[in-house]
Chains A and B, each alone.
Chain A
Amino acid sequence: ETGVTQTPRHLVMGMTNKKSLKCEQHLGHNAMYWYKQSAKKPLELMFVYNFKEQTENNSVPSRFSPECPNSSHLFLHLHTLQPEDSALYLCASSRRGEETQYFGPGTRLLVL
């Protein structure tokens, strides 16, 4: 887990707030992912970045806005979220051409 870090680990926000989640990988990978994990549901892939370019947006609402300034950092900007957006948000990274993904510890988000 120490290869991929996420901050903050916990976040409580109101529906009118704007916040950002941060992910950093120290593994020299060039692909990064955001997943949403809700209670008793499978992980949902949200976004994929390869070499800083977004290659997948899995029909995610525009209130979630990703940013990948370089291959080591990934952000998820949040604004005007809904209570149903409360979940564990997981970041992962991989080396392009390799199938295994390495996950961070996640950010537990609660939207009030």
Chain B
Amino acid sequence: SQQGEEDPQALSIQEGENATMNCSYKTSINNLQWYRQNSGRGLVHLILIRSNEREKHSGRLRVTLDTSKKSSSLLITASRAADTASYFCATDAGDYKLSFGAGTTVTVRA
């Protein structure tokens, strides 16, 4: 069943700008993960944040988690054309089964 819901559904930005997308979920989680999918391809893991963490960084990615609001955000700084993709949040309740949202489609314009 769907757990995460991303917002917005689509985002178009200029190269060099920051992109922010949000994920909301319904039930308690052990961790939340973000994945990227280039058009029609497999998903690539970007970053994992555990329920006891509030913020995590990886390169140009910054993820926050607010368990009281059951929400997470993914920030991509200084976007590049290669960041054009769909981004999915996935929640793990601790049973190693990921529940994905419908994704945010990001287009970075040159």
Contacts and interface: CB of A to CB of B under 8 A. Distances in A.
Given A105-B41, A105-B42, A106-B40, A42 B100 contact: yes
A11 to B, nearest CB: 14
B81 interface: no
B78 interface: no
B101 A42 contact: yes
A100 B100 contact: no
Contacts of B4: 42
Interface in B64-106: 88, 92, 96-103
A45 interface: yes
Interface in A53-101: 56, 88, 90, 92, 94, 96, 99-101
A48 B99 CA distance: 13
Nearest to B4: A42
Contacts of A100: 33, 45, 48
A56 B99 CA distance: 13
B100 A88 contact: no
A99 B33 contact: yes
Most buried by A among B4, B35, B45: B45
Interface of A: 1, 4, 6, 31, 40-43, 45, 48, 56, 88, 90, 92, 94, 96, 99-106, 108
22 contacts: A1-B41, A1-B42, A6-B42, A31-B96, A41-B102, A42-B2, A42-B103, A43-B88, A43-B100, A45-B97, A45-B98, A45-B99, A56-B97, A88-B40, A90-B42, A92-B42, A99-B33, A99-B48, A100-B33, A101-B45, A103-B43, A106-B42
Given A42-B99, A92-B43, A105-B42, 11 more contacts: A1-B41, A1-B42, A4-B42, A43-B43, A43-B98, A43-B100, A48-B97, A88-B40, A96-B96, A101-B45, A103-B42
Interface of B: 2, 4, 30-31, 33, 35, 40-45, 48, 88, 92, 96-103
